[in-house]
């Protein structure tokens, strides 16, 4: 079986696909990826064949000031950015790759609308991998018009309910109870855990164990749009009797934060799987990958959402009792420190996170996703 994995966004859209790709390779299938030019190096560094489908939406990023949350702006980014412009650009390029590489099935991130239209126009089965945890950002009423226009350009009829997004198979790496109940999963959805927690992971040799460790991250995109947020959070956290590990991403120099006490370590990147087993709580922007990582380890959170799916995730985390949510524009170092102490010392947050951890641990892993893909191709 030849499986083409495609993604329209940055590493947050690429990473959820990789466990399935590795499991497919281990099962003897041929796999390749199709992504934007700026992400090819990331894909190839992970050991995969990568086809260039153009675009530079997620290339090198300049530092930007922090902006107020604007939900209308984020919805327009989905509608006009992903569903109209990016999908329109990617669709013919994914068709070309599918034909030249002779793909049997397409597996795409849920925002890669162009790949879904490409697969349908070629008569190929496709599976969608969810990358937006709460599920309330991508809706037929939001993306239907530009996608129907794209469908028409490729000889496909209208799809007012956007059934194409879940027509064959939807793979969800999130616990079912986390999903916003107002936006239920389609009947074709299967929930899995793509990165099961590995027991007995050795601690990094530099990790201090004399106090609880807090992990602080702003992800891989919004870290450069965060203004003074890194400094505010770090100022609050380093006053607590804790160890703090902060990652800032490839475009920010850790040295800009100056000398730090021994309890603080700042790195550009640390694999979550090697660090989270040793952490007690997380402070983050509320991106889906960060939230899932925290919940998989039963960690409560302090969330400072900035945009994209983060406000939706923050709202859902607050409803489930696993996080404190702060206003990213006004939260002071003292308020951030107090919220962190709350989630560390009020048992309700950890108990609620533990319930989600057990739900995640009970889900099938990526090898089951490969069996579902095999069944899908056989059925076609």
- Per-residue model confidence as pLDDT tens digits over 145-201: 999 999 999 999 999 899 999 999 999 999 999 999 999 999 999 999 987 787 778
pLDDT confidence bin for 259, thresholds 50/70/90: very high
Q: 281-284 and 213-217 as β-strands: parallel, antiparallel, unpaired?
A: parallel
Please, which pLDDT band fits residue 54 given cuts at 50, 70 and 90? confident
The pLDDT score that the predictor gives to residue 292 is 96
Q: What is the mean pLDDT of residues 207-231?
A: 91
Strand partners, 107: 5, 127
pLDDT, one tens digit per residue, over 11-34 is 889 999 999 999 999 999 999 999
CATH of domain 2-194+365-379: 3.40.50.2000
Q: What was the pLDDT predicted at 218? A: 95
* Residue owning tokens 């107020």: 68
The predicted model gives 219-228 an average pLDDT of 86
- 146 or 222: which leads in pLDDT: 146
pLDDT at 60 over 80: no
Nearest to 47, CA basis, from 21, 28, 24, 27: 21
**Mean pLDDT confidence for 302-331:** 97
Per-residue model confidence as pLDDT tens digits over 350-367 = 999 999 999 999 999 999
Q: Which residues contact 152 (CB under 8 A, 6 or more apart)?
A: 158
Residue 284, beta-bridge partner list: 217, 303
Residue-wise pLDDT tens digits, 194-203 = 877 877 788 8
pLDDT computed for residue 183 by the predictor: 92
CA distances from 356 to 288, 294, 341, 359 (A): 14, 10, 21, 5
> In this predicted structure, what is the pLDDT of residue 64?
84
The answer to whether residue 77 scores a pLDDT higher than 60 is yes
Average pLDDT on 134-141 reads: 89
Which span out of 65-74, 112-121, 270-279 was modeled with the highest average pLDDT?
A: 112-121
CATH number corresponding to 213-361: 3.40.50.2000
Contact 296, 282 (CB under 8 A): no
Q: How confident is the model at residue 61 (pLDDT cuts 50, 70, 90)?
A: low
> Same CATH fold, 213-361 and 2-194+365-379?
yes
For residues 136-143, give the mean pLDDT: 90
Confidence of residue 57 (pLDDT cuts 50, 70, 90): low
Per-residue pLDDT at 107: 98
Residue 44 has pLDDT above 90, yes or no: yes
Per-residue HEC secondary structure of the chain comes to: CEEEEECCCCHHHHHHHHHHHHHHHHCCCEEEEEECHHHHHHHHHCCCCEEECCCCCCCCCCCCCCCCCCHHHHHHHHHHHHHHHHHHHHHHHHHHHHHHHCCCEEEEECCCHHHHHHHHHHCCCEEEECCCCCCCCCCHHHHHHHHHHHHHHCCCCCCCCCHHHHCCEEEECCCHHHCCCCCCCCCCEEECCCCCCCCCCCCCCCCCCCCCEEEEECCCCHHHHCCCHHHHHHHHHCCCCCEEEEECCCCCCHHHHCCCCCCEEEECCCCHHHHHHHCCEEEECCCHHHHHHHHHCCCCEEECCCCCCHHHHHHHHHHHCCEEECCCCCCCHHHHHHHHHHHHHCHHHHHHHHHHHHHHHCCCCHHHHHHHHHHHHHHC
The reported pLDDT for the residue numbered 68 is 93
Residue 58 has pLDDT above 60, yes or no: no
Q: Are 65 and 73 in contact (CB under 8 A)?
A: no
Q: For 218-223, what is the mean pLDDT?
A: 86
How confident is residue 47, by pLDDT bands cut at 50, 70 and 90? very high
The residue with tokens 């994914």 is 94
Total Cβ atoms within 10 A of residue 274? 14
Does pLDDT of 250 surpass 90? no
Question: In this predicted structure, which of 7-21, 23-37, 44-58, 365-379 has the lowest mean pLDDT?
Answer: 44-58
Can you give the residue ranges of every domain in the chain?
A: 2-194+365-379, 213-361
The distance of Cα 135 from the centroid of its chain, to the nearest Å, equals 12
Mean confidence (pLDDT) of the chain: 94
Quick one: what percent of the chain has pLDDT higher than 70?
A: 98
Cα dihedral value 254, 271, 238, 340, nearest 10: 140
């Amino acid at each position: 079986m030849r499986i083409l994995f495609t993604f329209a966004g940055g590493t947050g859209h690429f990473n959820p696909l990789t466990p399935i790709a590795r499991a497919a390779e281990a099962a003897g299938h041929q796999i390749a990826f199709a992504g934007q030019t700026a992400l090819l190096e990331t894909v190839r560094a992970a050991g995969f064949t990568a086809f260039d489908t153009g675009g530079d939406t997620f290339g090198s990023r300049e530092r930007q000031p922090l902006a107020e949350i604007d939900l209308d702006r984020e919805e327009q980014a989905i509608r006009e950015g992903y569903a109209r412009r990016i999908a329109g650009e990617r669709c013919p390029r994914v068709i070309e790759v599918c034909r030249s590489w002779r793909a049997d099935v397409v597996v795409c991130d849920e925002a890669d609308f162009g790949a879904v239209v490409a697969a349908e126009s070629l008569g190929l089965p496709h599976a969608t991998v969810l990358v937006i945890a709460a599920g309330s950002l991508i809706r037929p009423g939001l993306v239907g018009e530009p996608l129907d226009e794209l469908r028409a350009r490729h000889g496909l009829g209208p799809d007012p309910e956007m059934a194409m997004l879940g027509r064959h198979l939807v793979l969800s790496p999130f616990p079912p109870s986390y999903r916003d109940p107002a936006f239920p999963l389609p009947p074709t959805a299967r929930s899995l855990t793509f990165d099961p927690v590995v027991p007995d992971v050795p601690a990094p040799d530099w990790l201090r164990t004399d106090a609880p460790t807090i992990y602080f991250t702003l992800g891989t995109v919004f870290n450069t749009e965060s203004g003074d947020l890194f400094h505010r959070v770090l100022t609050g956290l380093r006053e607590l009797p804790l160890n703090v590990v902060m990652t800032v991403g490839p475009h920010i120099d850790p040295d800009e934060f100056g000398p730090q006490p021994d309890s603080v370590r700042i790195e550009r990147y640390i694999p979550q799987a090697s660090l989270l087993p040793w952490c007690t709580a997380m402070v983050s922007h509320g991106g889906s990958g960060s939230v899932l990582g925290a919940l998989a380890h039963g960690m409560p959170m302090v969330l400072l959402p900035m945009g994209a799916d983060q406000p939706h995730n923050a709202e859902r985390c607050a409803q489930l009792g696993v996080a404190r949510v702060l206003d990213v524009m006004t939260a002071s170092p003292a308020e951030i420190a107090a919220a962190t102490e709350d989630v560390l010392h009020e048992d309700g947050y950890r108990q609620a996170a533990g319930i989600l951890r057990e739900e995640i641990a009970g889900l099938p892993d990526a090898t089951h996703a490969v069996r579902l893909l095999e069944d899908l191709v056989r059925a076609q």
